[in-house]
Structure 1
Amino acid sequence: MFTGLSAFPLTPFKNEQVDAVAFARLIHKLVDARVNSICAMGSTGLYPYLSREEFSELATTAVELAGNIPVMVGVGALRTDDVLRNIDIAQTAGVEAVLLAPVSYHPLRDCEVYALYEKVTQHLSVPLCVYENPNVTNFVFSDDLYRHITRLPNVAAIKIPGQSFHEDEGKKRLDQLRQLLPDNVAIGVSGDKFGAAGMAVGCDLWLSVLGGLFPNTVKYLISKAKEQGREVAMQSSQKMEALWQLFTKNNGGMRVMATAASILGLTEYECLPHPLRPLDKEDRVILEALITELMLT
């Protein structure tokens, strides 16, 4: 489950309703590419924007369409009771894992985050991936908190923030985490700019926004990174710098992938729930050119 490419597809909307037809297109694309796993309703999948009914429908659809490809879903919510309800829905749908970030409006303390994961893991019958995304949650996991949470039952992986594995400090941090965490806990790299280098230096999986729409490109980058090492991974990633700049400019890859999906004809142009919007006209033109130039597939 927690190896290779975990692809994070968009949850597309149409007229403020989940576009089930477009969602199915995106899942079929990932199945055809034979990704290692699919994370439906991750951050790119807009889980905080979904009603319980939409969440249930999408979880069920993802599992049914994925076939023998394992499906993970994001279950975060402001209240622990709502997280537990999402878990019940996800497990009933047949998912093979859940992804949980400490979602909050008011800043959380370490003891509160630990209590969240402690209660959740007591409720789970499938593996859990801990998701650290401080740019969204404004919460940073301490090493001590990681040490305690990853020893709870059913915790099987962590999704660490993007960091420069191109440099020795990144590799040093990965080594520190290896010593800190139990041997059975996988380490996943996020932040697509850092994905190839992370896989080259020993991360177990790449949890990828880009891979949710262009899985073959990310699979190719993973293959090159593992076979030819960090230097080649760095070169491959640097060739995509213009795309990473679009990610940075637009506060992550979600809007970029939503716009790319519409360019490819897979979704409506306005495929995000209000007030979220796709890229502006200038960035859309840049993205259209990059899809062709970088041969994204």
Structure 2
Amino acid sequence: MFTGLSAFPLTPTDESGIDELAFVRLISRLAAAGVDSIGALGSTGGYAYLSREQRAWAARAAVEAAGITPVIVGIGALRTRQVLDLAADAHAAGAAGVLLAPMTYQPLNDDEVFGLYEAVTAELTIPLVVYDNPGTTHVAFSDELHGRIAALPNVGSIKIPGLTATAARARIAALRAVIPPHVTIGVSGDWLAIGGLLGGADAWYSVLGGLFPETAMSITRAAQAGDSTAAVAASDQLEPLWALFRRHGSLRVMSAAAETLGLAASPNLPLPLLGLDPVARTELNATLRELGLGN
């Protein structure tokens, strides 16, 4: 399950709640496209802004809409008790796995991070993805900490930030030296994902894939087949979109793209998050047309 393309869609949300029809439509599109798994309620899915009840509904709806496609549900929260409750909700919904980022307000030390994963994995009966994303969580995982956590029961994968191909080979080799062989390594940071895939990563945990699954799959399948030339060319072609991701954040860009494609209403981000400004939106729409990703 923790290999290939894992697509992470939006959870279209405004101040009245989740746009349930839009969310189910997004999940159904991914399943129909044949992605390897779906990451519901990831960072792109806005999990941190939703109540437990909203997240439980989204988990159930995602599993139902995904059919036979495995669904990985984000369970990050500030307190361990909340994470345990969310894990139970994900399990009850039929999720194939869970994704856990160590959310913080007060900075966490290594023992506190380990204690979170120890408590959660002790109660899980489905596999867990360790979400290593210091840019969002401000938690830096050392290799020693990764090794301790990966040895816990039910840990199935580690999601690491994107890296260049050269850096990814060294990083992945270092991680594989300290984690059990059954734990896979996946990359995020879409504009650098090709480096991770060609550097030995097992999976791409993809924001792009959540809205443009065929495009993301073409890159993933080329990398899996060992066709580095085709994989790099397909990723490089998307540089205008990657530039927008870097400038405005992938969540805001995908939010606006979903509106352009008629897949989500406006607004679809929870306040205080705002969508793209008119200038950036015009640039995005031109980019989508140029890349053949628009209507």
**TM-score scaled to structure 2, two decimals?**
0.96
* 2:220 corresponds to 1:186: no
- Equivalents in 1 of 2:171, 2:231: separation in Å? 18
Q: How many residue pairs align between the two structures?
A: 294
Structure 1 match to 2:101 = 101
Instruction: Give the SS at the match of 1:130.
Output: strand
* 2:138 corresponds to 1:141: no
Structure 2 match to 1:124 = 124
Structure 2 match to 1:46 = 46
> How do 1:133-212 and structure 2 match up within 5 A?
133-165=133-165, 168-212=166-210
Letter in 1 for 2:240: A
- Equivalents in 1 of 2:79, 2:123: separation in Å? 15
Letter in 2 for 1:133: N
- Equivalents in 2 of 1:283, 1:295: separation in Å? 18
- Equivalents in 1 of 2:153, 2:225: separation in Å? 34
Q: Which moved more, 1:10-19 or 1:212-221?
A: 10-19
How much has 1:78 moved relative to structure 2? 0.3
Q: Which moved more, 1:13-22 or 1:144-153?
A: 13-22
On the 8 A contact 1:73/1:99 being kept in 2, the answer is yes
Runs of 4+ in 1 over 4 A off after TM superposition: none
- Equivalents in 2 of 1:232, 1:80: separation in Å? 44
Letter in 2 for 1:290: T
Letter in 1 for 2:100: L
Structure 2 segments unaligned to the other structure (5+ residues): none
> How do 1:1-297 and structure 2 match up within 5 A?
1-165=1-165, 168-250=166-248, 252-296=249-293
- Percent identity over the alignment is 49
How much has 1:225 moved relative to structure 2? 2.2
- Equivalents in 1 of 2:117, 2:82: separation in Å? 13
Letter in 1 for 2:19: D
On the 8 A contact 2:163/2:192 being kept in 1, the answer is yes
Instruction: Give the SS at the match of 1:234.
Output: helix
- Equivalents in 2 of 1:162, 1:243: separation in Å? 16
Cα distance change, pair 229–182 in 1 and its aligned pair in 2 (3 A): same
- Equivalents in 1 of 2:116, 2:226: separation in Å? 41
- Equivalents in 2 of 1:239, 1:180: separation in Å? 35
- Equivalents in 2 of 1:139, 1:154: separation in Å? 21
- Equivalents in 2 of 1:16, 1:206: separation in Å? 33
- Equivalents in 1 of 2:29, 2:143: separation in Å? 37
On the 8 A contact 1:240/1:294 being kept in 2, the answer is yes
How much has 1:137 moved relative to structure 2? 0.8
Structure 1 segments unaligned to the other structure (5+ residues): none
Q: Which moved more, 1:114-123 or 1:226-235?
A: 226-235
- Equivalents in 1 of 2:224, 2:284: separation in Å? 28
How much has 1:15 moved relative to structure 2? 4.4
- Equivalents in 1 of 2:167, 2:276: separation in Å? 33
Alpha-carbon RMSD across the aligned residues, in angstroms, is: 1.3
On the 8 A contact 1:8/1:208 being kept in 2, the answer is yes
On the 8 A contact 2:76/2:83 being kept in 1, the answer is yes
On the 8 A contact 2:73/2:97 being kept in 1, the answer is yes
Letter in 2 for 1:10: L
How much has 1:291 moved relative to structure 2? 1.4
- Equivalents in 2 of 1:292, 1:223: separation in Å? 24
Cα distance change, pair 145–197 in 1 and its aligned pair in 2 (3 A): same
How much has 1:245 moved relative to structure 2? 1.3
On the 8 A contact 2:47/2:76 being kept in 1, the answer is yes
- Equivalents in 2 of 1:14, 1:119: separation in Å? 33
How much has 1:296 moved relative to structure 2? 2.9
How much has 1:238 moved relative to structure 2? 2.2
- Equivalents in 2 of 1:169, 1:262: separation in Å? 36
